[in-house]
Amino acid sequence: MKELSGWGRFPKIQTKEIIPQFESELFEILQLNKSYIPRGNGRSYGDSAINKSLTINLTRMNRFLEWNNESGELIAESGVLIADIVDTFLPRGWCLHVTPGTKFVTLGGAIACDVHGKNHHKEGSFGNHVNWIEIVNEKNEVIRCSPEENSEIFQWTIGGMGLTGVIIRCSLKLKKVESGWIKQKKIVNSNLNETLRSFYENQDATYSVAWMDCLSSGTSFGRSILMLGEHAKENELNTKSVLYPKRKNQKFTMPFDAPSFLLNNFTVSLFNKLYFNLSQNNQSSYVNWDTFFYPLDSIGDWNRMYGESGFFQFQCLLSSKLSKKGYTKILSTIQNKSSGSFLAVLKYFGSGNGNLSFPKEGFSLALDFKASKKNIEVGKELSDVVNDLGGSFYLAKDAILKDYQFNPNLNEDEFLKYRNISMNSEQSIRLKL
pLDDT in tens, 44-100: 999 999 999 999 999 999 999 999 999 999 999 999 999 999 999 999 999 999 999
Sorted by where each starts, the structural domains of the chain and their CATH numbers stand as 71-178 (3.30.465.10), 182-393 (3.40.462)
148 in Cβ contact with 114 (< 8 Å): no
The rounded percent of the chain whose pLDDT value lies above 70 is 99
For 167, the 3-state DSSP assignment is strand
Give the pLDDT confidence score for residue 412 in this predicted structure.
78
What is the Cα gyration radius of the chain? 21
The model's pTM? 0.96
Give 282's pLDDT tier (boundaries 50, 70, 90): low
DSSP assignment of 68-126, as one string?
Answer: ETTTTEEEEETT-BHHHHHHHHGGGTEEES---S-S--BHHHHHHTT---TTHHHH--G
Give 207's pLDDT tier (boundaries 50, 70, 90): very high
Give the pLDDT confidence score for residue 232 in this predicted structure.
96
The whole-angstrom separation of Cα 137 and Cα 160 is 14
pLDDT in tens, 126-182: 999 999 999 999 889 999 999 999 999 999 999 999 999 999 999 999 999 999 999
pLDDT above 90 (res 382): yes
**Nearest alpha-carbon partner for 106 in 81, 83, 124, 72:** 81
